[in-house]
Structure 1
Amino acid sequence: MKKIHIIGLGLLGGSFGLAAAKKFPDILISGSDADEKNLQDAINLGIIQEAKDAPDADTDIVILATPADTLNDLLLKTLDQVGENTLVFDVGSTKAKLCALVAEHPKRKQYLAAHPIAGTEYSGPKAAFGDLLDRKVMIICELEQTDLGLKEKAYELFDALNLKLRFMDPEEHDRHLAFVSHLSHISSFMLGKTVLQKMEDEKNIFDMAGSGFASTVRLAKSSPAMWAPILTENKDNILTALDGYISNLSAFREKIAASDGSGLSDEMTEVNKIRDILDLEK
């Protein structure tokens, strides 16, 4: 691994840069960002060593880490630019549109559809840290479409960063992410909105909000610039998830309105099963 180029130097792109530099001391990492301050911060923080608008012809891997609504055009542009021995992968939260977009591209074999299940509620180069990806799941879609030799470059990087690989169909990926990730962010943002509307005194929110509220609303601190595009790109799956969520909320509300303590207890007990699922990895 000699050269990596990162387009988009925020939390994910920046963390890839920091982690790769640590694991491959001789690597040359270049990059670009639409925000000039982000670009300068990335240089100052050691995320990249050199600012470049386009990757060198002999770059091993190009990582696309920009907002979801920019990835379509950026992927096509990047594939047109890169040399024949360069692998391009993105880290976006939606995969079906991208895979369909490049299905007939002459350089399709140089693209790997990837999504690391990693992140925090913070954004920008200053939020990046080298251990963000450690032991996290990396979902890969349509692996068979990527050139064998170029896949080896990806495996070398992913193994060095201690990522756990999982393989999914792109449509399946987008459908599942709508429920387990995208819906969670919507819930958090709207809980935050509801509290802000009804508790105008900020001191009361601070004094009365326990750890349960803080953990539930944590995602509402996430970057709107990143999440608004994700929600529109995966619109159909998210609307299905929202319809189910709203239906469940309405039914739960009816139990509360009817003072149906037994029904509430039974439903929450049933949902407690999620604890066993989430404890599997511990």
Structure 2
Amino acid sequence: MNVYIIGVGLIGGSLALDMQHEFKNCTIYGIDQQEEHLQEAINLGIIQKKAELKDVTNADIVVVSIPVDVSVDLIPEVLNLVSDNCLVIDVGSTKTQICQAIEQHPKRRNFLATHPIAGTEFSGPKAALRNLYKGKTNIICEVEKTAFKLQEKALDIFSKLGMRIRYMDPKSHDKHIAYVSHLSHISSFMLGKTVIEKEKNERDIFDMAGSGFASTVRLAKSSPAMWTPIFEQNKDNVIETLEEYIQNLQHFKQLLEEHKFSEIYSEMENTNHIKQILTGIQEVKLS
């Protein structure tokens, strides 16, 4: 089985590592704009061979793991090149524009739109991890538009990698992911920005930063090259979530200004319910 990974960073590289482990007969080829990434991926055992885009004519599976703005233009090119039996998967964080871009493509049946909800704040081949996807949810969009045999092939791979599957239409995916992922990243980036700007005048501020600060700004270490296109493609949903978030922040600020600390207590106590929600989700994933 010839597997071509376009983009050998955290997501694509982790997928390559797991597929090598689960499918002993597969050969992993890497395609990346950065030659140093390809060489690094070979040195780390993430891929076995370097390749170019034209080589996907020999592919059984192509995984597109690059910034979503580039994917929109590249996936139709990939579909132009692959054989009728090749499965093309993208793993980007937005789905609507990509699905629209290939809606009328003659080989639409070869494409499966997915979003594994997995990752870290790190990027590049060195960030790739074995078992990154184990127990994680993988969102699949417009599955009915993919050839049934290719659906089966994809589901077999996802099952062996330990993923849980959810089906969703692209617009719903992009709306929901704006709340649970995209807003979190913006919050982290802006908290980091706020503290960095304050630190210019107060040099001791980072000496006082504890684990709470570190965990909250962890996502601010994420790649701007990846996240800027995500925010652009999902702009309307992200703006909606930001408006709601800003309203909550302004309300909290108003309660502080008016010394309404019993109401602040109630706000936090009500929000504590998220512990039960997240615990329930975790239990489902482990079951």
Q: TM-score range by the shorter chain?
A: over 0.9
Letter paired with 1:70: V
- Report what 1:97 is aligned to: 97
For the residue of structure 2 that corresponds to 1:57, the secondary structure is helix
**Residue 41 of structure 1: aligned partner:** 40
1:140 is matched with 140
Provide the rounded CA distance (Å) in 1 between the counterparts of 2:207 and 2:22. 44
* Partner Cα distance (2:218, 2:260) in 1: 30
Aligned counterpart, 1:15: 14
Cα deviation, 1:107-156, whole Å, max 9, x if unaligned, reads 01000000000000000000001111111111000111100111111112
Contact 2:110 2:150 in 1 (8 A): yes
Which 4+ runs in 1 deviate beyond 4 A?
A: none
Correspondence list, 1:215-234, <5 A: 215-234=215-234
Paired with 1:22 and 1:201, the residues of 2 have a C-alpha distance of 51
Give the deviation of 1:241 after TM superposition: 0.5
Partner Cα separation in structure 2 for residue 18 and residue 203 of structure 1: 42
What's the Cα RMSD here?
1.3
Shifted more, 114-123 versus 126-135: the winner is: 126-135
Partner SS state of residue 42, structure 1: helix
The CA distance in 2 between the partners of 1:122 and 1:92, in whole Å, is: 16
What is the distance in 2 between the residues matched to 1:53 and 1:250? Answer: 51
Counterpart AA for 2:134: D
Q: Is contact 2:10–2:128 with CA below 8 Å preserved after alignment? A: yes
After superposition, the C-alpha distances for 1:71-120 in whole angstroms (9 at most, x for unaligned) are 11111100001000001010000001111121111101000000000000
Alignment match, 1:62: 62
User: Is contact 1:60-1:153 (8 Å) kept?
Assistant: no
Q: Normalised by the size of structure 2, how large is the TM-score?
A: 0.95
Asked if the contact 2:13/2:129 (under 8 Å) is kept, the reply is: yes
Alignment of 1:162-241 (within 5 A): 162-200=162-200, 204-241=204-241
Q: Is the 8 A contact 1:61 1:153 kept in 2?
A: no
Q: Which runs of 5+ in 1 are unaligned?
A: none
Structure 2 alignment gaps of length 5 or more:
none
Moved more, 64-73 or 206-215: 206-215
Q: Give the whole-Å Cα distance in 2 for the aligned partners of 1:30 and 1:139.
A: 25
* Structure 1 position 203, deviation (Å): 6.3
8 Å Cα contact 1:58/1:85 also seen in 2: no
CA–CA separation in structure 2 for the residues paired with 1:129 and 1:251: 41
CA distance in 1, matches of 2:105, 2:172: 22
* Residues 4 and 28, structure 2, Cα contact 8 Å, conserved in 1: yes
**SS of the residue 1:259 aligns to:** coil
SS in 1 for 2:157: helix
Which secondary structure does the structure 2 equivalent of 1:279 belong to? helix
Quote the Cα distance in structure 2 between the aligned partners of 1:88 and 1:107.
10
Identical-pair percentage? 51
Secondary structure, aligned partner of 1:196: helix
Tell me if structure 2 keeps the 8 A contact 1:19–1:130: yes
